Structure 1
Amino acid sequence: MPGPIQSIERAAAMLRLLARGSGHHGLAEISAALGLPKGTAHGILRTLQRVEFVEQDQSTGRYRLGAALLHLGTSYLDANELRSRSINWADTLASRSGQEVRIGMHHDGAVLVVHHVFRPDDTMQTLGIGGMLPLHATALGKVLLAYDPELTATIRRRELTSLTRRTIVKPAALERVLAEVRTAGWASEAEEYMPGEASIAARIRVPGGLVVGAIGISGAVDRICDAANRPKPALVQQVSQAAEAVSRALAAES
């Protein structure tokens, strides 16, 4: 049986991206969000324009959905779907890392926790499903911000709340961090959200490259980070492998 056609997957991911938020994105934003070279992204956009799936604003050069797709849905997965397809990998990650695991997606300007696995120990813990976490101060949030230009634009216009002395509150500093996240495919934070706690998260993608969520671990700083407050490489690898496994599961279902 023939395999998937990569160009169609990328075009579909591009349409889903344009269906988000205001739906007006520049070429650089689109290529960065989907991890594509600008030339590749531009070629797909030109093709979509020819079939009227995409329109370009002549005054700004930004792209939006075309008339043929005005009723395209605004999301690919709902919270229940993402959770159901990620449960097994989240359990495995908690067992291997010894840390609590959260799966999150964007909702109403924050990270919505759609699944939460407790640390595999006997300490008192509180279930976090349905909780909302800040985008700029958590590893999950940084991943979601890095691959969603609409969210990033919103953050630029918003005053960032300082939650601890380590929280990033300057938009320019956050932009630099998000650029690093896009390069690496994962994010981390140490005591930016809560004193004494740290987290690592990686992107969950659907075919075509669109990031629909993130999976991550969190715990005490000394268990997540080394003496220099850098995330431990072994944990980064475990989180990244879990994210790739969930992404493969989503691809198999599509």
Structure 2
Amino acid sequence: MPGPIQSIERAAAIMGVVADAPFGIGVGELAGALDLAKPTAHGLLRTLQGVGYIDQDPHSGKYRIGAAALGLTARPFDANVLRSYAMNWGDTLAARSGESVRIGVLRGDRVAIVHHVFRPDGSTQSLRLGVELPLHATALGKVLLAYTPGLTERATAALPAYTTRTHTAPRPLQAEIARVRAQGFAEDTGEFHAERAALAAPIRDAGGRVIGAIGIVAAIDRLDNHTTHAKLVALVRDTAAAISRDLTTERPR
């Protein structure tokens, strides 16, 4: 069997020491407590801070347990923060794909649209911001089903049909979700709207957790074309990856 991973052991030890210091602890004090080199302790603290498990007091510089560690299952990513990172990328995706772009986050057992960019063709369109859509019949929703632990099991009872193509039985939906995980993107072809198709890919935070999805909505015949389909899949996946990188390395715009 493989042995323990030292960096994880050290991170766990740091969490334990910080948790026992309700008024905070400095990097030097923590390094001494764990017999670590100060640069090593500082690097681990900054990494834990980056994923929300450790917070640093801006005045004293001391470290405390972060919100993510206090509520791992109940702490959703702020949709407004996600939107601030993703807005420019959404505009670019719409321009390059020629299609409408939507960004969605999980809200209960549905996907909520937190950003919507119109198709750049000047046609009459309706703003979908704030609309909640079903998970099982939309590309955005399938991404969240695929990457949110336990969600698929909750979402497979009494699934409503929106078109004749909607997956309403647990087994076909579970097979679809497995395909999403394997290929790294989701699609629906006339499953929510009979004349529309969609593609979506996951957006991840600094720790790798999927916090939302970005995708395009197009006429079905656009995605029936193999060459166009492959191009649009690449655009959507590349955009999702770019937003995920920004969430790790940049501040909100």
The Cα shift of 1:224 comes to 2.6
State the match for 1:244 in structure 2: 241
2:118 equivalent in structure 1:
118
Q: Given residue 223 of structure 1, which amino acid in structure 2 is its aligned partner?
A: R
2:222–2:228: 8 Å Cα contact kept in structure 1? no
CA gap 1:231/1:212 in 2 versus in 1, 3 angstroms: farther
1:26 paired residue number = none
Aligned-partner SS, 2:126: coil
Contact 1:200 1:231 in 2 (8 A): no
Alpha-carbon RMSD: 2.4
Deviations 1:125-179 (A, max 9, x none): 01111001110000000000001122112113x2100000000011111111111
Quote how far apart the aligned CAs of 1:225 are: 2.7
CA distance in 2, matches of 1:138, 1:153: 17
The Cα offsets for residues 77-100 of structure 1, whole Å up to 9 and x where unpaired, read as 211111111001000000000000
Aligned twin of 2:135: 135
C-alpha separation between the residues in 2 aligned to 1:183 and 1:209? Answer: 16
Q: Secondary structure at the match of 1:86?
A: helix
Letter in 2 for 1:236: V
**In structure 2, what is the Cα distance between the partners aligned to 1:250 and 1:148?**
19
Following TM superposition, by how much is the alpha carbon of 1:188 offset from its aligned partner in structure 2, in angstroms? Answer: 0.5
Amino acid at match of 1:198: A
SS in 1 for 2:248: helix
Check 1:145–1:231 CA distance in 2 against 1; reply closer, same or farther (3 A cut).
farther
- Give the TM-score normalised by structure 2: 0.70
User: What's the TM-score, normalizing by structure 1?
Assistant: 0.69
Question: Residue 179 of structure 1 corresponds to which residue in structure 2?
Answer: 178
Instruction: Tell me, yes or no, if structure 1 residue 146 matches structure 2 residue 143.
Output: no
Mapped to 2, the partners of 1:203 and 1:179 lie a distance apart of 14
Q: Tell me the distance in 2 between the aligned counterparts of 1:163 and 1:181.
A: 20
- Name stretches of at least 5 consecutive residues in structure 2 with no aligned partner: 1-6, 13-52, 54-68
4+ residue segments displaced more than 4 Å: 69-73
User: Alignment length, in residue pairs?
Assistant: 189
Structure 1 counterpart of 2:112, one-letter code = L
| Aligned match of 1:45 | none
- CA distance, structure 1, for counterparts of residue 104 and residue 224 of structure 2: 21
Higher relative contact order (CA 8 A, sep 6+): 1
Q: CA deviation at 1:76?
A: 4.6
3-state SS in 2 of match to 1:149: coil
Identity of aligned residues (%): 49
Secondary structure of 1:203's aligned partner: strand
Q: Are 2:139 and 2:186, in contact at CA under 8 Å, matched by a contact in 1?
A: yes
